[in-house]
Amino acid sequence: MTTTAAIRVADLSKDYRGTRAVDSVSFDVPHGSITGFLGPNGAGKSTTLRMLVGLTEPTGGSATVLGRRYTELLNPGRRVGVLLDASAQHSGRTGLEILRLGAMMMGLPDRRAEEMIEKVGLSKAESRRRTGTYSLGMRQRLGVAHALLGDPKVLILDEPANGLDPAGIHWMRTLLKEFADDGGSVLLSSHLLHEIEVVADDLVVIGRGRIVARGSKNDLLAGSGVYVRSTDDEGLAAGMRAVGVGFTDHPDGGFTVGAEAEHIANIAAAAGITLRELRADDEAGLEQLFLRLTADDAREDVKS
């Protein structure tokens, strides 16, 4: 397959009765890497992921997984592991039975269910209890087990660390790292930066439906970014994206960029774009950006 990315999200948008929950979201998840999808509650992460797997019809845009629309994958569970909501399980079924149902549907032997129970650290006794009695952490483990059932190449996980204790979060990180080291690709969301900053290679930050930052984690976390403003910010953004430079929208217009000033000037020159401003920006850290996003939303909540 010639496709370069395991997951490609192109211009996805979703309107709910006039309000835009997701607004032209685009990003790639490269093969063999972990992309963290980060944003405060209500930012549009879950909606984006639901559109990605065909549970929600997008208002605009499209997405592919392994080069195809998810809904066109044949027996998708064997190629893509999905966990959208660990609580969405029948409370009257045992954990083991839920995995057996999944295995049956995907055409896998029953023992695969038992193996996955073991892999996610649930005990035999726990796996034979109804999930109605499970803690959120146990549900997350069961959900991850379900996502791994079909030995997928891609994982899509919505807030999988929710409800896990520190040991559980550590376990999850190790598991995802191993998965990616074996060539798997992971897209996982979180509303907490610290949950994914250790494990992610790339970050996509979303706030109020729009992507506000995207790039390699190292660039984004570098802190000492460069502020740039130009006569053609859209063209500049396209130029930076093309060479893989991470940047975020600045609230006053322009961008905060995780690259050398000279590099940015060269990109602009190559695109024939005139710069208006180019200077060091000490407020550029991802932490600050994220705090700003969350604070904005908190203010909005107080107002409404």
Partner 1 sequence: MTTAATTAATTTPIDRALIPIPFGRLVRTELRKLTDTRAGRWLLLTLVAATPIVALVMVFTMSTKDLNYAKFVDYTSTPEKLLLPILGILTMTSEWSQRTGLVTFVLEPKRGRVLLAKGVAALGLGIGVSILMLLVSVVGNVLGQSVRNGDGSWNFAGQVSGEVTLVLLSWLLLGIALGMALLITAAAILVAFVVPNMFSAFFGSGSKNTTAWFDLNQAQSPLYSHDITGKGWIQLLAASALWIGIPMLLGAMRVRRTEVK
Q: Which of 36, 77, 168, 209 binds partner 1 (CB under 8 A)?
A: 77
User: Sign of the CA dihedral 236, 226, 241, 22?
Assistant: negative
Q: Looking only at residues 120 through 179 of this chain, which bind partner 1 when binding is defined by CB under 8 A?
A: 146, 150-151
Residue 91 sits in the site that holds partner 1 (CB under 8 A): yes
Residue 11 contacts partner 1 per CB under 8 A: no
Query: Is 257 a residue that touches ligand ADP (CB under 6 A)?
Result: no
Q: How far is the CB of 199 from partner 1 (least distance, A)?
A: 21
Q: Of 296, 284, 294, 300, whose CA–CA distance to 191 is shortest?
A: 294
With binding defined as CB under 6 A, does residue 45 bind ligand ADP?
yes
Binding-site partner at residue 290 among partner 1, Mg ion, ligand ADP, none, CB < 5 to 8 Å by type: none
Beta bridge partners of residue 36, listed in sequence order: 188, 203
Smallest distance, Å, CB 83 to Mg ion? 12
Name the strand (E) or helix (H) holding 20: strand 19-30
Residue 88's φ and ψ, nearest 5 degrees, are -85, 65
Does residue 53 touch partner 1 according to CB under 8 A?
A: yes
Tell me the C-alpha distance between 193 and 210, whole Å: 17
Question: How many chain residues interact with ligand ADP (CB under 6 A)?
Answer: 10
Count CB-CB contacts under 10 A for residue 295.
11
Strand-pairing partners, residue 60, are 13
Q: Examine residue 21 and tell whether it contacts ligand ADP (CB under 6 A).
A: yes
Integer angstrom CA distances of residue 98 from 34, 85, 114, 167, 211: 27, 14, 11, 25, 35
233 lies in the binding site for partner 1 (CB under 8 A): no
Which helix H or strand E contains 25, and what residues bound it? strand 19-30
Which DSSP symbol is given to 246? -
* 16 versus 119: smaller Cβ distance to ligand ADP: 16
Among 13, 33, 35, 46, binds Mg ion (CB under 5 A): 46
Q: How far is the CB of 288 from ligand ADP (least distance, A)?
A: 20
Among 150, 191, 198, 161, CA closest to 34: 198
Which is closer to partner 1, CB of 105 or CB of 243? 105
* Residues near partner 1 (CB under 8 A), total: 43
Contacts of 41 (CB under 8 A, 6+ apart): 191, 297
Q: Which is nearer to Mg ion, 158 or 281 (CB)?
A: 158
Residues 6+ apart with CB under 8 A from 304: none
Q: Which residue ranges make up the site for partner 1 (CB under 8 A)?
A: 46, 50, 53-57, 70-71, 73-79, 82, 84-85, 87-93, 97, 101-102, 104-109, 111-112, 115, 118-119, 146, 150-151
Binding residues for Mg ion, rule: CB under 5 A, are 46
